[in-house]
Amino acid sequence: ARADKTLFSFEILPPKKGQSIDGIFQTVEALLPFNPSFIDVTYHATQVIEKQNTDGSFIKVPVHKRPGTLSVCAAIKYKYGIDTVPHLICSGFSRDETEDALVELSFLGIDNVMALRGDPVGGDSKFTPASGGHSYAIDLIRQVSDLNQGKWLHHEIGETEPTDFCIGAAGYPEKHSESPNISTDMDHLKAKIDAGAGFIVTQMFFDNEAYFRFVDACRAAGITVPIIPGIKPLATRGQVTVLPKTFAISLPEELTRAAMATENKPDLRKVGIDWSVRQCAELIANDAPCLHFYTMSRSKAVKQIAATFFGN
Ligand code: FAD
């Protein structure tokens, strides 16, 4: 909020279970020269998969494919001295488990959290909270805000100390997929800010007009916190269809046409990078507080884009 120029930040995923953290360090080190203000680390809900027994029957097995959000955050923070922002989700956590996770974070000196609901799991169309857990991100934001005021779950105020978390919330320039319309989505976003979120990070978008309209609508609704645009350089032809489907976003026709006209991966990557560079230039010219890159733990394209704006 205090920055006088557009900052640089990025999001990474914890490694797949069984892989070392070295790949994460390589990604971070590739982007260190651009002076990241913070690094987000996603949280991945436990998925239930079906496995076949030797007798042919099937059992359902819970699988946590990418554990380690908290330790990746701590490792980066203490290895490189950069602020990290762990994503905390409602899915799979009771209120008590959430409180315990927040204790771990505060003991580690991590005082930022991105508070999210999480997506429905197991192919469900509707989100199901854990037993004793939260149904919406706002409930999680309220819990963290309560801790910031010294209100712990099973203690009297005065017995406990307040925490000092800075809380981020997700925003959707093209509307969240489950919202009936933009104005209902905006009401829910405003409620998250009123509940204590101090900044918004947006879903990825490829048309800056969507972001500019969203920022105007937020300001008109009385939201004054920084609204950080999420940028994703297109990296494969497959993403032309996968990204809109997965994230309920749209791709401008001009970008789709250019991507589909490419004949190989390097050409496609160039289209993606050039598009992001144009987006970033316009966002900086319009005083975006920070450019936040969805790296998907790959640094090459983001490095090239960041060099254009954040290199020495
Ligand atoms: P909410 O703010 O709870 O909103 C969910 C839906 O419910 C919206 O349609 C909203 O309008 C509606 N709603 C909100 N409050 C109410 C209410 N009181 N009554 C009725 N309806 C309501 N997912 C992960 O699993 N892990 C991650 O690390 C992760 N990182 C993300 C980072 C960013 C920047 C973004 C944009 C998304 C991320 N997601 C992540 C995905 C996110 O979990 C999903 O988009 C999820 O479906 C919604 O999360 P939310 O926090 O926006 O939920």
Alpha helices (runs of H) in the chain, residue ranges in sequence order: 22-31, 69-80, 95-107, 137-148, 182-194, 208-220, 239-247, 253-260, 265-285, 300-310
Give tens-digit pLDDT for 232-266: 999 999 999 999 999 999 999 999 999 999 999 99
CA 171–ligand 1 middle distance (angstroms):
8
Q: Is the CB of 87 under 6 A from ligand 1?
A: yes
Q: Is the CB of 141 under 6 A from ligand 1?
A: no
CA 169–ligand 1 middle distance (angstroms):
8
Q: Is the CB of 119 under 6 A from ligand 1?
A: yes
Paired strand residues for 90: none
In the predicted model, what is the mean pLDDT of the chain?
A: 96
Which residue's structure tokens are 């008590």? 96
Does the predicted model carry a pTM greater than 0.85?
yes
Q: Is the CB of 179 under 6 A from ligand 1?
A: yes
Helix (H, G, I), strand (E, B) or coil at 35: coil
In whole angstroms, what is the distance from residue 143 CA to residue 102 CA?
10
Q: Is the CB of 176 under 6 A from ligand 1?
A: yes
CA 218–ligand 1 middle distance (angstroms):
17
| Residue of the CA atom closest to atom 24 of ligand 1 | 118
Give tens-digit pLDDT for 4-46: 999 999 999 999 999 999 999 999 999 999 999 999 999 999 9
CA 90–ligand 1 middle distance (angstroms):
9
